[in-house]
Amino acid sequence: MIEINILNIKGKDTGRKIKLSKTIFQSDPNRHALYLDVKGHLANKRQGSHKTKERSDVKGSTRKIKKQKGTGTARAGSIKNPIFRGGGRIFGPRVRDYSMKVNKKVKIIARRSALSLKAKDKEIYVVEDFNFKSPKTKDYIGFLKSLGIYDKKSLLVFGEPNNNVYLSSRNFKNSNAVIFSELNSYRIMNSSSVVFFESSISKIESILN
C-alpha cells in the first residue's frame, strides 16, 4: 500500500492519509498496453467523414474529348481525367470507420500503468470532496493555485457528479474535470497532474482491481 496525504480545498494538509492500492498505483508499467489504449481512444474519436470526388463522382460528359491519334499530344478519353482542371482526384480520402477495439483486460492494464507512472513521478494529489456555491472559474483557478498546479495541465477526478466544480473548470483550457467512470489512459497521460476527490479513489480501485 502507498500512503498519500489528503489535502483540503486550500491545498493544506488535513493531517489524514489515504492508502492507495499497490496493484493500481505501484504496478510495473506495461508501455505497449498503454500505447494500444491511447491509440484506440484517439482512433475512436476520429469522425472519418472525409471525402473527395474521384472520377466516378465528378459531373461531366462521357464524350471522348478529342481524337485518339494525330493531335501531337497525349491521348485523352474523358473530361473527368484527374490531370484536367475540374477532374476527379486520384486516390482521394474516402469515408471510413477508424474505430479500433481494445480488449477490456488491456484497458485495465493500461490504466494501472498510467496511474503507476504518475504516482512514481509524484504527480498525484488527493483532496477532500468539496463544492462551490455556484459555478465560478475564479474559484476553480484559486483551487489550482493552492495546489501549485495552475500553470500545469491538470485533470480533476470526481467520485460523484459535481456540477458546480465541473462548470467552473470548463472555461479553463489547461484543466479537465471528469467523473471516475470517464477516466482513461489518454486523459491521465495527457495531464501533468492528476487530482482525485477522496471519494473517487475507492471507486477507481473497484474498477481496476
The last residue of one of the domains, among 97, 123, 139, is 97
pLDDT band at 146 (very low <50, low <70, confident <90, very high): very high
Residue 30 confidence (pLDDT) above 90: yes
Cα–Cα distance for residue pair 25/117, rounded to 1 Å: 8
Q: Are residues 36 and 84 in the same domain?
A: no
The answer to whether residues 137 and 194 belong to one domain is yes
Give the separation between CA 42 and CA 100, rounded to whole angstroms: 9
- pLDDT tens digits, one per residue of 131-142: 999 999 999 999
φ, ψ of residue 147 to 5 degrees: the values are -90, -10
Under 8 Å between Cβ of 29 and 113: yes
CATH number for the domain harbouring residue 18: 3.40.1370.10
Half-sphere CA count of 50, side-chain side, radius 13 A: 7
155 and 138 in one domain? yes
- 154 and 177 housed in the same domain: yes
What is the pLDDT of the chain when averaged over all its residues?
A: 94
Residues 124, 194 contacting (CB under 8 angstroms): yes
Q: Indicate if 19 and 117 belong to the same structural domain.
A: yes
Domain count, the chain: 2
Answer yes or no: is pLDDT of 2 > 90. Answer: no
Q: What is the pLDDT of residue 62?
A: 86
- 57 and 11 in a common domain: no
The single residue listed with the C-alpha cell 500512503 is 3
- Domain end among 58, 79, 97: 97
- Taking each helix axis as running N to C, give the angle between helix 104-120 and helix 198-208, from 0 to 180 degrees, rounded to the nearest 10: 140
pTM to 2 decimal places:
0.83
| pLDDT tens digits, one per residue of 45-59 | 999 999 999 999 999
Residues 84, 167, single domain; the answer is no
Overall average pLDDT of the 102-128 stretch: 95
| DSSP per-residue codes, 144-174 | HHHHT-TTS-EEEEESS--HHHHHHHTT-TT
Residue 209 has pLDDT above 90, yes or no: no
The domain in which residue 72 lies consists of 47-97
Residues 68 and 83 in one domain: yes
